[in-house]
């Protein structure tokens, strides 16, 4: 090939024999012992340190996603660890592979929905109820669940949502994206004739939008947060294993049903 080759550059960081620089900050001198893990994540994603108010809200979003019990991703991590205890990273990766359009990844879906409806927070549409009505009608026509709305367990409200919205308001981020998310929930409840609360991922998608975080990064926030939780599950699995019990019970029940079908044939 002819022509000039693209220069290989990055603003993420670099190292020399006596320095480690991350996003323009000296790691030992400016960051270690001075910032929280969530602040470091914000720096990596946004290229700048968060303000105090941004830090409070962003750290809350990350903490929300760390743990939610024996979810499919936690079970996948535990089962993988039981078969490959020498590879904790494989077990964590197995769990992270399950973060998609049903679990955790709906942060991306809800943020995208909001940011496509309001491309510029400085100029929100004047009639948010009409925008919400269009969103609900569109998703209903697709026959798809609206991301960020409804929860199989947490009813009539997801207890995480009002707290996150309160933190957003306390820190100056109660803007058009949160308002639109609330309008979408109200419209969905009206159209479907049942209560459809804003779930945690809907609240997080709205708060990320208020923070100026692209919807493309939102699933990544869930990935790094849930990775911490999965390490916790694996540590518990080391000391109080349940994966083998889950496996043997599933085998026993499947065998019993198979034999019952055979004997009843």
pLDDT tens for residues 171-198?
Answer: 999 999 999 999 999 999 999 998 899 9
Among 256, 244, 246, 162, smallest CA distance to 206 is for 162
Distance in angstroms (rounded) separating the CA atoms of residues 222 and 46: 16
For residue 138, what are its two tokens? 């569109």
Which pLDDT band, with edges at 50, 70 and 90, does 260 fall under?
confident
Among 248, 231, 236, smallest CA distance to 95 is for 231
Model confidence pLDDT, tens digit, residues 32-87: 999 999 999 999 999 999 999 999 999 999 999 999 899 999 999 999 999 999 99
What ranges do the domains of the chain cover? 9-50, 69-241
179 CB contacts (<8 Å, ≥6 apart)?
Answer: 124, 128
Distance in angstroms (rounded) separating the CA atoms of residues 184 and 176: 12
The Cα angle at residue 109 between residues 105 and 110, in degrees rounded to 5 = 110
Sheet containing 13-16: order of strands: 13-16, 19-22, 25-26
Distance in angstroms (rounded) separating the CA atoms of residues 28 and 50: 19
Distance in angstroms (rounded) separating the CA atoms of residues 18 and 140: 58
Distance in angstroms (rounded) separating the CA atoms of residues 249 and 242: 11
- Considering the four listed CATH numbers 1.10.3720.10, 2.40.10.340, 1.20.1050.10, 1.10.230.10, the one that applies to the domain covering 69-241 is 1.10.230.10
């Amino acid at each position: 090939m002819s022509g000039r080759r693209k220069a290989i550059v990055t603003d993420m960081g670099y190292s020399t024999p006596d320095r480690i620089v991350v996003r323009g900050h000296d790691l030992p001198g400016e960051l270690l012992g001075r910032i929280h893990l969530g602040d470091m994540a914000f720096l990596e994603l946004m290229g700048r340190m968060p303000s105090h108010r941004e830090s409070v809200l962003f750290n809350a979003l990350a903490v929300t996603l760390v743990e939610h019990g024996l979810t499919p991703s936690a079970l996948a991590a535990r089962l993988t660890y039981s078969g490959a205890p020498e590879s904790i990273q494989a077990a964590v990766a197995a769990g992270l592979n399950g973060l998609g359009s049903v679990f955790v990844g709906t942060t991306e879906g809800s943020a995208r929905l909001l940011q496509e409806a309001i491309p510029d927070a400085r100029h929100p549409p004047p009639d948010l109820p009409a925008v919400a009505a269009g969103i609900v009608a569109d998703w209903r026509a697709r026959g798809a669940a609206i991301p960020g709305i409804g929860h199989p367990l947490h009813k009539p409200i997801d207890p995480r949502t009002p707290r996150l919205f309160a933190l957003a308001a306390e820190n100056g981020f109660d803007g058009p994206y949160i308002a639109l998310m609330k309008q979408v929930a109200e419209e969905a409840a009206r159209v479907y004739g049942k209560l459809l609360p804003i779930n945690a991922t809907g609240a997080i998608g709205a708060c990320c939008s208020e923070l100026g975080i692209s919807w493309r990064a939102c699933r990544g926030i869930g990935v790094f947060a849930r990775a911490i939780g999965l390490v916790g599950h694996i540590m518990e699995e080391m000391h109080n294993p349940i994966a083998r019990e889950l496996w043997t019970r599933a085998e026993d029940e499947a065998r019993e049903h198979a034999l019952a079908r055979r004997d009843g044939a």
